[in-house]
Structure 1
Amino acid sequence: MGEASTDGRKLKGERRKKELIEATIRVVARDGVAGVSHRAVSKEAGQPPTSAAYHFKAIDDLLTAALTSCMDQDAEGIRQLTDASGGGAQGVRALAARMVAAVAEAAHLQAEFELYLLAACRPELRDPPRRWLAAIEHFGRHYTDDPVRLRILAGTIDGMLMQALVTGEPPTSTEWEAVLRTILVPAE
């Protein structure tokens, strides 16, 4: 077999793994972490029943991959937003809009939080949430170097997202902006 066919198989395998990770997130959103099994994830991904077990030997491997995917995508989105906005009112508006969009995908956000909380019980899963928090801090540093304000920023974002899920009353973009400005822009 030539190099091209090997590369093709590798690409197909990577695509299948990505589909399985996305399917894991959908299963967690629908059935919770307890609903994740190799069979359920393979079925959700539209792949053969043994596919998830082939690519991810243990359920923990699936959950770790799903958590890593969610947190890294979110962190990268915040970093891109930060780099594009460079601070100021535009950055606050952009972050507010991103948070409104996150809440609009409630099932996905719920799955992310369930996976996020899994890291509280499993120290080996804490690096992906730390990358998310670091991205939030990076955003905040465009406005303040006060470590207390930066800590409040991360806690407030997580808290408001969670409250939106629990109450079913998501903050508007205007509400997000007001909260973010209060945290990030020192009173004069």
Structure 2
Amino acid sequence: MVEASIDGRRLKGERRKKELIEATLRVVARDGVAGVSHRAVAKEAGQPPTSAAYHFKTIDDLLTAALTSCMDRDAERIRQLTDASGGGEEGVRALAAMMVAALADTVHLQAEFELYLLAACRPELRDPPRRWLAAIERFGRRYTDDAIRLRILSGTVDGLLIQALVTGEPPSAAEWESVLRTILFDR
């Protein structure tokens, strides 16, 4: 009986941590990294003011958890897409659809880029973005082993995503497909 209650508390704690990470992403999207505080995140998550500090001792811990969570989730989606597609037009269409869907969730995407840029200043945060870039490259390897094309692919994906956030004009699925074909298919 004691073991069951311990597991229940552990599960509740993990659920609260996930809620705090999601709340951190919303705060970052709304207020930028500078707006993240334990109090702001706990309030956004609808949790007691001390909750964020209990689960994440420092703001850096909270930001690291948020960056890792969103980048690893997106990298895993790309890995799954890569494994499910055999390459060719099917894979291009699937990645284009995934990018259109990513742009529909501007809260997460904006927070990801805020955190992504934070990793540029903080080397200890660079592993999650590297895993994202590796997942994009792995997808590209279904089409080419040309290192330059693979570099162009990852830069283009990131570039189009951030341009869409800045301009408010996201590429359509057809535009994504055209760009991906241009990069990945030999002409």
Range of TM-score over shorter length: over 0.9
State the partner residue of 1:154. 154
CA distance in 1, matches of 2:7, 2:106: 37
The residue correspondences of 1:67-146 to structure 2 (distance < 5 A) are: 67-146=67-146
Extract structure 1 runs of 4+ deviating beyond 2 A. Answer: none
CA distance in 2, matches of 1:123, 1:115: 12
Q: CA deviation at 1:127?
A: 0.1
State the partner residue of 1:3. 3
| 2:30 aligned counterpart, secondary structure | helix
| 2:169 aligned counterpart, secondary structure | coil
Query: TM (normalized to structure 1)?
Result: 0.98
CA distance in 2, matches of 1:48, 1:25: 18
**2:51 is the counterpart of 1:51:** yes
Structure 1 counterpart of 2:172, one-letter code = T
Structure 2 counterpart of 1:134, one-letter code = A
State the percentage of identical aligned residues.
84
CA distance in 2, matches of 1:73, 1:174: 25
CA distance in 2, matches of 1:66, 1:186: 38
Structure 1 counterpart of 2:137, one-letter code = E
Number of residue pairs matched? 187
Check the 8 A contact 2:70/2:108 in 1, yes or no: no
Query: TM (normalized to structure 2)?
Result: 0.98
Q: CA deviation at 1:107?
A: 2.3
CA distance in 1, matches of 2:99, 2:56: 31
State the partner residue of 2:40. 40
Unaligned runs of 5+ in 2: none
Moved more, 31-40 or 101-110: 101-110
Deviations 1:32-65 (A, max 9, x none): 1011000000011111000000000000000000
Q: CA deviation at 1:96?
A: 0.4
Q: CA deviation at 1:108?
A: 1.8
Deviations 1:102-137 (A, max 9, x none): 111122211110000000000000000000000000
| 1:60 aligned counterpart, secondary structure | helix
Q: CA deviation at 1:86?
A: 1.9
CA distance in 2, matches of 1:45, 1:169: 30
Structure 2 counterpart of 1:3, one-letter code = E
Check the 8 A contact 2:25/2:107 in 1, yes or no: no
State the partner residue of 2:163. 163
CA distance in 2, matches of 1:64, 1:108: 15
| 1:155 aligned counterpart, secondary structure | helix
Check the 8 A contact 2:28/2:111 in 1, yes or no: yes
Deviations 1:108-167 (A, max 9, x none): 211110000000000000000000000000100000011110000000000000111111
| 2:25 aligned counterpart, secondary structure | helix
| 1:150 aligned counterpart, secondary structure | helix
Structure 1 counterpart of 2:19, one-letter code = E
Check the 8 A contact 2:56/2:62 in 1, yes or no: yes
Q: CA deviation at 1:176?
A: 0.4
CA RMSD of aligned residues (A): 0.8
